[in-house]
């Protein structure tokens, strides 16, 4: 008779290997936005297009930025990893109410 029990015992479940894939979005054109709901006082997020010309295009808008990794990768408060695949779109960032100083600071970091 075949056993239907799990080979990992109850007490050993914490030692079982786990796999985790973080949802990721790559933005080909992006800009800064002020998100509707803040996280610990921060409303800074990013929005942008997920693909380049001649491909299906989607618009993405993030939750507040939680953490940055280098100059081209962000993590948002909802667990999305955002990869920035271009320089900041200055025009759209300014249209969203950010000052040119913020745009300059962002470009200086890149």
With tokens 């000052």, the residue in question is 99
pLDDT tens profile 20-69: 778 999 999 999 999 998 888 889 999 999 976 777 889 999 999 999 99
Partner residues linked to 90 by β-bridges: none
Total Cβ atoms within 10 A of residue 35: 19
Which structural domain, as residue segments, surrounds residue 31? Answer: 21-99
Q: Is the dihedral of CA 22, 58, 74, 64 positive or negative?
A: negative
Name the percent of the chain lying above pLDDT 70: 74
Q: State both tokens at 89.
A: 């779109």
For the chain, the domain total comes to: 1
pLDDT, position 57: 83
In a domain, 65, yes or no: yes
Q: What is the pTM of this model?
A: 0.72
Domain-located, residue 89 = yes
Rg (CA), the chain: 20
Please answer whether residues 7 and 16 qualify as being in contact, where contact means their C-beta atoms are separated by less than 8 angstroms: no
- Indicate whether 9 belongs to any domain: no
């Amino acid at each position: 008779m075949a056993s239907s029990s799990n080979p990992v015992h109850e007490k050993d479940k914490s030692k079982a290997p786990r796999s985790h894939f973080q949802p990721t979005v790559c933005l080909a054109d992006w800009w800064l936005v002020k998100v509707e709901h803040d996280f610990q006082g921060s409303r800074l997020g990013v929005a942008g297009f997920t693909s380049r010309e001649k491909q299906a295009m989607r618009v993405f808008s993030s939750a507040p930025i939680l953490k940055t990794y280098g100059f081209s990768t962000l993590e948002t408060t909802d667990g999305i990893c955002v990869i920035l695949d271009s320089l900041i779109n200055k025009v759209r960032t300014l249209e969203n109410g950010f000052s040119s100083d913020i745009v300059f600071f962002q470009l200086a970091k890149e």
